[in-house]
Structure 1
Amino acid sequence: MRKHSTFLTLLGAGCGAVFGLAASAPAHAANPLELNFWLSGPKYEGRVAPCESALPTITSNFREKESSFWNSALTITGYADIHEIAFRPWQSDNIPRRYCTGKVMVSDGKPRTVNFSISEDGGFAGYGQGVEFCVVGLDRNWAYNPACRAAKP
């Protein structure tokens, strides 16, 4: 039994030394072949759905977030004054996003503001449109704090 543990100790030390040497090797910049071979990058076309297309996603994700994480029965019961506030507000080679805002009626009877964005190829694993949203006053984990300002451009 003693020989076995000594062997494992030496094997572990040897592996650690090899990995340590490999990790300490300096990193080199990509050569011209690596820069230009199969690395063309995403080709964004700016095809982002209109603001109204995100409302069903916001409704279901809000209901799931409230019930799963906050043990709350709050749901979104209606929308009003949904409009775009910006489209591709930064330089053109960034991921295209449409920023929108509007009013939501929540099941507690209080109207609130919702800020959201729709991004091209921003869905799960880069497939489909991605939607990020924040309902003012119900950003309980402060992801878009203060008052959902970080959900705007």
Structure 2
Amino acid sequence: MRALLKSRTKSAAAAVFGALLGFLAFGEARAANPLELNFWLSGPRYDGKVAPCEYALRTITYQFRDKESTFWNSSLEITGYGNVRETAFRPWQSDNIPRRFCSGEAMLSDGKVRAVHFSIVEDGGFAGFGQGVEWCVVGLDRNWAFNPACKAAKP
């Protein structure tokens, strides 16, 4: 009987302590003070230096071959590019992440020419280091990531 009484007392004390801790942690939400705003919440600073369209072609070729062989069991590869051009640079507000949007034509190993739309993103590489590339080959967006017809890959 004594052990039961002690365990109930301990569990009641633990519940009160947990409730007190929860109240203190989530009790009141306050805005950042001026010191925090000036030093700790400054946010990223972008230079707007984004590589030209030709920079991404090698990456697209490699990633396309990897995606097709790994996920779709296909031997398709991009063998060449043509008519590569910039379609937009920072098309939205200036405080957004800088992007260069490009389009072109990709010759595939099956002999077909398909449109390719891509963007080069400042600090868009792995874990935010380097420039990242997002791309879509029209007609081969098998997982519909940029559907319909790669429209979401354009500005």
**Structure-1-length-normalised TM-score:** 0.85
Correspondence for 1:69 among 68, 71, 74: 71
Q: Secondary structure at the match of 1:72?
A: coil
Question: Which residue identity does 2:69 align to in structure 1?
Answer: S
Aligned residue in 2 for 1:123: 125
Residue 140 of structure 2 aligns to which amino acid in structure 1? L
1:9-48 to 2 correspondences below 5 Å: 10=11, 14=15, 17=19, 21=23, 24-48=26-50
Map Cα deviations across residues 24-58 of structure 1 (whole Å, 9 max, x no partner). 43432212111111333222111100000100000
- Matching residue of 1:91: 93
Structure 2 stretches of 5 or more lacking a match? Answer: none
Q: Distance between the aligned counterparts of 2:72 and 2:84, measured in 1?
A: 26
Aligned to 1:133: 135
SS at match of 2:59: helix
Aligned-residue identity in percent: 70
2:57 partner SS: helix
Alignment partner, residue 112 of structure 2: 110
Aligned length: 148
Task: Give 1:19 deviation, angstroms.
Answer: 6.9
CA RMSD after TM alignment: 2.4
Q: 1:74 to 1:20 in 2, by over 3 A?
A: farther
Match of 2:53 in 1: 51
Give, in whole Å, the separation in 2 of the partners of 1:65 and 1:16: 49
SS at match of 2:86: strand
Tell which structure's C-alpha radius of gyration is larger. Answer: 2
TM-score, structure 2 as length reference: 0.84
User: Cα–Cα, structure 1 residues 125 and 147, in superposed 2: closer, same or farther, change >3 Å?
Assistant: same
Shift of 1:117: 0.1
